A and B are shown apart, each in its own frame.
Chain A
Amino acid sequence: SAVISQKPSRDICQRGTSLTIQCQVDSQVTMMFWYRQQPGQSLTLIATANQGSEATYESGFVIDKFPISRPNLTFSTLTVSNMSPEDSSIYLCSVGPGQGSFGPGTRLTVL
């Protein structure tokens, strides 16, 4: 399966700022997925990112808050904008379906 890396691995941010998370895959993939895992909770899909088209967001997530870029078949970014403490979570990217790979996650704390 694909090997996925994420940057940064963790960050502590101030309320009202934005953070961009990078996801790099070692092979070309059509679909990339961004998930959020809040403390003690399971994973929730934020959006699906296909190269060359706008990301598709799940109910409860909007582009203004979580803009996504997908410039090529091996890379994507997720920005968490105008952060509040409620955005403190682990953010994971994944490739799929069925390829099973997740990145190691970005642990975000918002003060």
Chain B
Amino acid sequence: QKEVEQDPGPLSVPEGAIVSLNCTYSNSAFQYFMWYRQYSRKGPELLMYTYSSGNKEDGRFTAQVDKSSKYISLFIRDSQPSDSATYLCAMIDAGGTSYGKLTFGQGTILTVHP
């Protein structure tokens, strides 16, 4: 079993839709949770970075963490064609020898069509 599971999609939605992206994880030691956006032929770009359970909002993006269920989500409101990219969840076990190591999900390919 992978430490982080993410549905690879692909996911295709019309412009203006609300997009929900999800990851589950098995390692209780994960303490920090990130969402990255990766455009084709580019490096990943950090979108959201959360620590505690609950919601964090940044513009059209909302990150949600439920540590009790080991489940994280990213919601994109009013999706735009420019949101078309691969979205990767990533997690950090901040303790011990794994400090700083990012463990990634497989990535979800999102296409927003006009």
Chain A residues within 8 Å of B, Cβ to Cβ: 1, 4, 31, 33, 35, 41-45, 48, 56, 58, 92, 94, 96-98, 100-105, 107
When the two chains form their complex, are residues B102 and A96 in contact, meaning their CB atoms are under 8 A apart? yes
Measured between alpha carbons, how far is A18 from B85 in the docked complex, in Å?
32
Chain B residues within 8 Å of A, Cβ to Cβ: 6, 32, 34, 36, 41-46, 49, 88, 90, 92, 94, 97, 99-107
When the two chains form their complex, are residues B101 and A33 in contact, meaning their CB atoms are under 8 A apart? yes
Which DSSP category, helix, strand, loop or mixed, fits chain A's interface? strand
Measured between alpha carbons, how far is A98 from B51 in the docked complex, in Å?
10
- Residues on B with beta carbons closer than 8 Å to the beta carbon of A100: 34, 36, 45-46, 49
- Residues on B with beta carbons closer than 8 Å to the beta carbon of A44: 104
- Residues on B with beta carbons closer than 8 Å to the beta carbon of A107: 41
When the two chains form their complex, are residues B100 and A102 in contact, meaning their CB atoms are under 8 A apart? no
Most chain A beta-carbon neighbours within 10 Å: one of B43, B44, B97, B105: B43
When the two chains form their complex, are residues B43 and A92 in contact, meaning their CB atoms are under 8 A apart? yes
When the two chains form their complex, are residues B88 and A96 in contact, meaning their CB atoms are under 8 A apart? no
When the two chains form their complex, are residues A43 and B100 in contact, meaning their CB atoms are under 8 A apart? no
When the two chains form their complex, are residues A42 and B100 in contact, meaning their CB atoms are under 8 A apart? no
Measured between alpha carbons, how far is A44 from B41 in the docked complex, in Å?
17
Shortest distance from the beta carbon of A11 to any chain B beta carbon, whole Å: 15
Shortest distance from the beta carbon of B62 to any chain A beta carbon, whole Å: 18
- Residues on A with beta carbons closer than 8 Å to the beta carbon of B106: 41-42
A101 in contact with B104 given A42-B88, A56-B97 (CB within 8 Å):
no
When the two chains form their complex, are residues B46 and A1 in contact, meaning their CB atoms are under 8 A apart? yes
- Residues on B with beta carbons closer than 8 Å to the beta carbon of A58: 101
15 contacts across the A-B interface (CB closer than 8 A): A33-B101, A35-B102, A42-B105, A42-B106, A43-B102, A48-B100, A58-B101, A96-B102, A97-B32, A97-B94, A100-B36, A100-B46, A102-B44, A102-B45, A105-B42
